[in-house]
Structure 1
Amino acid sequence: MTSDPEDGEGRRRSGSHARQKPAKPRSFWKELPLLVGIALVLALLIKTFLVQAFSIPSASMENTLQIGDRVLVDKLTPWFGSEPERGEVVVFHDPDNWLMGEPTPSQNAVQKGLSWVGLMPSANEKDLIKRVIGVAGDTVECQGTGPLKVNGKTLGDSYIYTGNTPCSSDNQGGQFKVTVPKGKIWVMGDHRQNSLDSRYHQHDKNHGFVPVSNVVGRAFVVAWPPTRWSTLPVPDTFDQPGINAATAVVPDALGLAGAVPLVIWRRRRTVARNTRVSDPSTAG
């Protein structure tokens, strides 16, 4: 028979008190609010800084995007200074009342809450989605029904709506030749004859161009419905050789500027040497 251990003051402790009882696990229902709170915070952070869902409200991007499609938009890369590139599908804030008169879909309280944290597309945000055709320095033009040209290079039309022509023959904006200024982009819908894009807003404060600062991010995947799941790559026609001709002259110009001092220096050396040889006082 063993005796109970003594404590620091010589008192004996019973065996039942010498061992601590294991902590009782917390109820799942007590932890649920905490888990929901963490999930909402994470969803809000993801929506703000990483990825956000947007709903397609119109047919202006058919057949690439259908009405009701949900796309995911990359909001991270713009934080690192990345700017839109030709051929990308981008979401951007309304530059100057492009959506004036368009109806706003109604949402119930639950849908509004899910939209706020980014788990559902928002119905209240005045955003548009189009394809980038021209970036700063590009010359974009349309004559007649096409073709559409960027820096003199013809863009293929494989990505536009079946049956559409690359350009519209109307005089309301279908005929144009513009040079994209710094900090702006020129956008057009893939459904050319059903898209009120840069062509038809050339009289607004931005002359139809979209400020890069208005761009939310690039749409990179159709996430819903499942039957429509697909990525949104840049069509090959935007990568054709020579399309960067407007900016390709910059390295050539820098090379020429660097060569000029060298040519002048060599010419001066040649003149000086010829002078010394022809001078009688220096002849041997």
Structure 2
Amino acid sequence: MRRVLYWFFIGIGVAVVLGLPGLALAVRLVWAPFYIPAGSMKPTLLVGDYFFVNERLARPVQRGDVVVFRHPVNNTDFVKRVIALGGDTIALEDGIVVLNSARLEQVPLGDFVEVNAPQGPHHSVPRCMPPKPALGADCRKALLRETFPGGRSHLMLDMGRSSLDDMPRRTVPEGHMFVLGDNRDNSLDSRVSQSAGGLGFVPLENIRGYADRVLFSAAGSWLYDFRNWRDDRYGMQIE
């Protein structure tokens, strides 16, 4: 399967170069490719995931959406999960999100396990629950399912107490959103102000699109080495 997909992508590239620029443009007007170089959205998005962003914003953004957006200050691309929208109140108490005075349910699902080894082109080593494992050993984090009022849910990770587990109540300004990474203890997001290097409240107009589905995923440091592609992530819908 890996080899078939590898030559499929090569074939698409050759076809575009040889005479299908119109098709390429039509696809690009709807979907944009995006690559995950860091681990702030684990387990939803892994380091090495190559996914499509649907840039046709055919509906209003909703709580729980995974969106790609421009940083409000430096204009670089980020991907996070929308937790609160304009007019919502948002707080964190011991790692639990409190949205409009309602605590989001977090149900433990065991451990998320990965190898404690350099990942991606930046060779970043994942953060793990203590005690810190040796290189090559299992790196563990608590895996939970977080649920919004109304029933929409997603997976998230937790490594115990951290400095970002508590945040006083804030009100999201109209036309803005409050976003978090699913890897809560390894994410620089709306909990941190823009003046401190974080995201703060992000204007909705900065959204590029919704994260749609994973095209393929490379576990190694080189994206196009198909021998390291993860077999279980081809075409996976992002939720």
Q: TM tier, shorter chain?
A: 0.5 to 0.7
Q: In 2, Cα distance between the equivalents of 1:162 and 1:204? A: 24
1:130 to 80, 84, 87: 80
Q: In 1, Cα distance between the equivalents of 2:45 and 2:180? A: 13
Task: Provide, for residues 97-136 of structure 1, a one-character-per-residue CA deviation record: whole Å limited to 9, x for no partner.
Answer: 38xxxxxxxxxxxxxxxxxxxxxxxxxxx21100000011
Greater relative contact order, per chain length (Cα 8 Å cut-off, separation 6+): 2
SS of the aligned residue for 1:66 comes to coil
- The structural deviation recorded for 1:40 is 2.2
TM-score with structure 2 length normalisation?
0.61
Match status 1:148 vs 2:97: yes
Aligned residues: 166
User: In the alignment, what sits opposite 1:28?
Assistant: none
2:46 to 66, 77, 81: 66
Unpaired segments of 5 or more residues in structure 1? Answer: 1-32, 99-125, 234-284
Task: Provide, for residues 51-92 of structure 1, a one-character-per-residue CA deviation record: whole Å limited to 9, x for no partner.
Answer: 11100111000111110101111111x2x4x33210010000
Alignment of 1:25-174 (within 5 A): 36=17, 38-47=19-28, 49-76=29-56, 78=57, 80=58, 82-97=59-74, 126-143=76-93, 145-157=94-106, 158=145, 159-164=154-159, 169-170=162-163, 174=166
User: In the alignment, what sits opposite 1:231?
Assistant: 237
Q: Which has the higher strand share?
A: 2
Structure having the higher Rg: 1
Please tell me whether the aligned partners of residues 191 and 198 of structure 2 are also in contact (alpha carbons under 8 angstroms). Answer: no
Please tell me whether the aligned partners of residues 173 and 199 of structure 1 are also in contact (alpha carbons under 8 angstroms). Answer: no
Q: In 2, Cα distance between the equivalents of 1:64 and 1:182? A: 28
In the superposition, relative to structure 1, how do residues 202 and 169 fare at CA in structure 2: closer, same or farther (>3 Å)? Answer: farther
Q: In 2, Cα distance between the equivalents of 1:163 and 1:204? A: 23
Where does structure 1 differ by over 3 angstroms across 4 or more consecutive aligned residues?
33-38, 159-165, 202-207
Q: In 2, Cα distance between the equivalents of 1:231 and 1:138? A: 28
In the superposition, relative to structure 1, how do residues 174 and 39 fare at CA in structure 2: closer, same or farther (>3 Å)? Answer: farther
User: In the alignment, what sits opposite 2:213?
Assistant: 221
Q: Provide the alpha-carbon RMSD of the alignment.
A: 2.8
Q: In 1, Cα distance between the equivalents of 2:95 and 2:185? A: 12
Residue identity (%): 35
Q: In 1, Cα distance between the equivalents of 2:192 and 2:183? A: 14
User: In the alignment, what sits opposite 2:169?
Assistant: 177
Please tell me whether the aligned partners of residues 174 and 199 of structure 1 are also in contact (alpha carbons under 8 angstroms). Answer: no
User: In the alignment, what sits opposite 2:131?
Assistant: none
